[in-house]
Structure 1
Amino acid sequence: MHKLSLADVLLSTNITPNFLRLLLNGGGTISATGCITQFYFYGVSAGSEVFLLTAMAYDRYLAICSPLHYASIMGFRLCLYMSLCSWGLALMLGLFFNLLTFNVEFCGPFVIDHYFCDFTPLIKLSCTDYKAVELTVIIVDIPFMLLPFYFIIYTYVSIGLAILRISSTEGRHKAFSTCSSHLIVVCMYYGTLIIVYMVPSKGHNFNMNKMLSLLYTVGTPCFNPIVYSLRNNDIKVALYKCMSNQISFLHSI
């Protein structure tokens, strides 16, 4: 869980400050070095979150489908190995996409129609035909985005069947609550990523692209702590009190 928090912090600190500056100033500039750096760390944080969510799905699969073997399989060594693999793959993919994107020829105008240096608005500034680069990104995304997504689907189908076999209602509820937070984040994160990066640029409106990007660059890191904390009773009580106070304040106006 703390590895996912690190990915969220990296994503937020890389995107959000500059995004707020653009909102306050009605636009802004960024150097070529700054754009390359932002694009690289964005790719690393987004990629690591994909792989870490996949590792967490496997953790929940073992906990529900093979509870007696969980302690012997999910040890410190396996957790460390999955974390290192997740970050290692993310670092390599970030470097690959950076080299692929910034090796194309740019001749202006150097105006990015986006709130951060993302692949689609950058590649649209190219003077040459960028279809080959766009196709390469889609092909590379298939094993590194879709295969983890299909694995997560497989784990949750298995988890759902295992939950249905539990005889008691309390047992079903406890098993479902174990993975409900993770499932919410996966649906929100993967849904937007697949639409933005797996659908060609002509397949959807670019303004919609920016709105979807806002969901996983700003929304997901903000919602993750809330979603994963909802199982904590103290958090639930504090959230209930906060909502009650807000409702009472609105009624008093």
Structure 2
Amino acid sequence: HIPVVLSESGIKETVYNDFYIGEDSDVVIVAGCGIHNCGNQDSQHDGVHRFFVGKNARIRYVEKHYGEGDGSGKRILNPVTEVYQEAGSYVDMEMVQIKGVDNTHRITRAELAEGATMIVHERLMTHGEQVATSVYEVALNGEGSSTDVISRSVAKDTSEQVFEAAIVGNSVCSGHAECDAIIMDKAHVVAVPKLDARNVDAALIHEAAIGKIAGDQLIKLMSLGLTEAEAEEQIIGGFLR
């Protein structure tokens, strides 16, 4: 467990963590990062995490970001994650940021050896004038390596989101990236796919869908007695679950 809490305005820090996951081990790591800012200065936490995953090892990594506070200072979180996987290893990453973070720039890079697998599930919600950028770069270097990068996000008010997924197939491999986003109000959402096949047997796929909440879904829930706002919250909650 790696808890980080900033509780004062005007703090800026960078934390470095290196994890060495031994051969054949099975590990769960949970990182919770929160900022409570009630002042007029920005508070910022940058976390740099490197994972060295041994042969046939398994790791589940959960990273959750949260911000709160009624001050005018921003709450900023900029995580950088690097993953180096040896043969047969398995990495499952859950990236969650649902509320209160004014600005975030997430960068995740991974290199996979023979038979290695990396699964990423990102859940993100922005509101107000918040800005969130997520960049994933996965190099499938070993034969039989695979990755699945999935992002589900909701953008409200005038917030902005950018999702970039780059998968490089250097061998016989399979890669899949998917971005599903609900856009509301006057928000702005961008999905940028990049598939780079450098082997004739590299199978790479990207899917992206950005749209508003379907009207028939709202009508159905409102017919059961919910207000429009309550119906929207139910739909968003189910989408991000």
Asked if Structure 1 and Structure 2 have the same fold, meaning a TM-score greater than 0.5 normalized by the shorter chain, the answer is no
TM-score (norm 1): 0.21
TM-score (norm 2): 0.22
User: Would you tell me which structure has more strand in proportion to its own residues?
Assistant: 2
Higher relative contact order (CA 8 A, sep 6+): 1
User: Would you tell me which structure has more helix in proportion to its own residues?
Assistant: 1
